Structure 1
């Protein structure tokens, strides 16, 4: 039995598709709290949507978790804007207090309501956060801060409700926290020993292992600008 107190689900959030920019790009990043039970399957919550299914959603990014713990730090940094007054600012499905990137590792399994979740990877923020916050560098701020949140794959589907508790039931790679992965992806980016470990960490999605393998081969870090900045036109505001 793992000795950790269960964490209450502060909010369960779902989003419909809506335009995120002047070009009419559809996104499900705007999410709202839902009361009552929602069915969770291998590809996410019933009624939740993603606009770009190539980069969002799918079995390795079925559920996005963002710690409510970080909201105070963001208020200190960018101000107490209305967006930060309730969960959902970062497009998260799950909001909690008491779990952060330093506490959670890839492969951790949580029982939540009738579902079993497994931590799959950290979040790689994209330019849609710039539009969401009306800040041209919000995605870069998120990446640089390490306050990125993380994703789950669904091992067993079932109903989930706000107020359910997250019970940690298994740890497979406790040494590879989301915070440690972030450090070697974005800070100590060419650490050969760490990259070799990441490239061989089978529980990670292949895309993450491929980042590490390519860096080992080329001794270069991939270009993040398109993901983080999107179109170069300034954000209004």
Structure 2
């Protein structure tokens, strides 16, 4: 696995259902390294700290390979990396093979896989179509949240070198499936 894009977002206010909503989901690629801190990516907007950021959701990574699935479903969008609100676009991150607690050396950092991304209405706003939220729930292409065990900078081209494996823990995809069942109950 290798970083193909580092992405941050600015604070953006949008009108949704006649209410102002503040979001940081509109991420865009940057050419310089980004600093992964304990609870956030420096310079990246986190508008809703109840559901984003914090120790167990400091960094969000999404697979470039997943873009090939989504692009034909939304051909009229202006596609760019960071589209899913990810800080790191990784060439091939597989949620069905990454377990909670798997740890990676990436650039100057050490990252530990913690959680799945459970989509909310802001993904629908980003895609200008609320159907994406349900479609996202019905895949295992949820991306991976990471805890930052060792802070530092990462950049395009940095490799994920696995340094700890936790195969007895659930996979990130299994967490999404479990969360979906809880939500539907």
Would you call these one fold, judging by a TM-score over 0.5?
yes
Higher relative contact order (CA 8 A, sep 6+): 2
Q: Does residue 68 in structure 1 map to residue 64 in structure 2?
A: yes
Q: Which moved more, 1:111-120 or 1:135-144?
A: 135-144
Q: Which residue in the other structure is 2:2 paired with?
A: 8
Q: Does 1:82 align with 2:77?
A: yes
Higher helix share: 1
Aligned pairs (5 A) from 1:174-213: 174-186=168-180, 189=181
* Alignment partners' CA distance in 1, 2:33 and 2:156: 8
Q: Which whole-Å CA distance do the structure 2 matches of 1:103 and 1:56 have between them?
A: 23
Query: Which residue number in structure 1 is paired with residue 115 of structure 2?
Result: 121
Q: Could you say if the C-alpha distance between residues 20 and 61 of structure 1 is closer, same or farther in structure 2, counting changes exceeding 3 Å?
A: farther
Does 2:129 match 1:130? Answer: no
Pick the structure with greater CA Rg.
1
How many matched pairs? 183
Q: Does 1:148 align with 2:132?
A: no
Q: In structure 2, how many angstroms separate the alpha carbons of the residues matched to 1:74 and 1:160?
A: 26
User: Which of 148, 154, 166 is matched with 1:160 structurally?
Assistant: 154
Q: Report the TM-score, using the length of structure 2 for normalisation.
A: 0.91
Q: TM-score, normalised by structure 1?
A: 0.72
- Once residues 49 and 116 of structure 1 are traced to their aligned partners in structure 2, the CA distance between those partners, rounded to angstroms, is 22
Distance in 1 between residues matched to 2:70 and 2:52, nearest whole Å: 24
Check conservation: 1:150, 1:178, Cα contact below 8 A: yes
Gaps of 5+ in 2: none
Q: 1:223 deviation in Å?
A: 5.5
Partner of 2:164: 170
Report if the CA contact (8 A) 2:65-2:92 is conserved: yes
Which one of the candidate residues 92, 96, 111 is aligned to 2:86? 92
Determine the C-alpha separation between the residues in 2 that align with 1:83 and 1:29: 15
Q: Provide the rounded CA distance (Å) in 2 between the counterparts of 1:184 and 1:32.
A: 31
Number of the residue aligned with 1:204 = none
The separation in 2 between residues aligned to 1:222 and 1:143, in whole angstroms, is 10
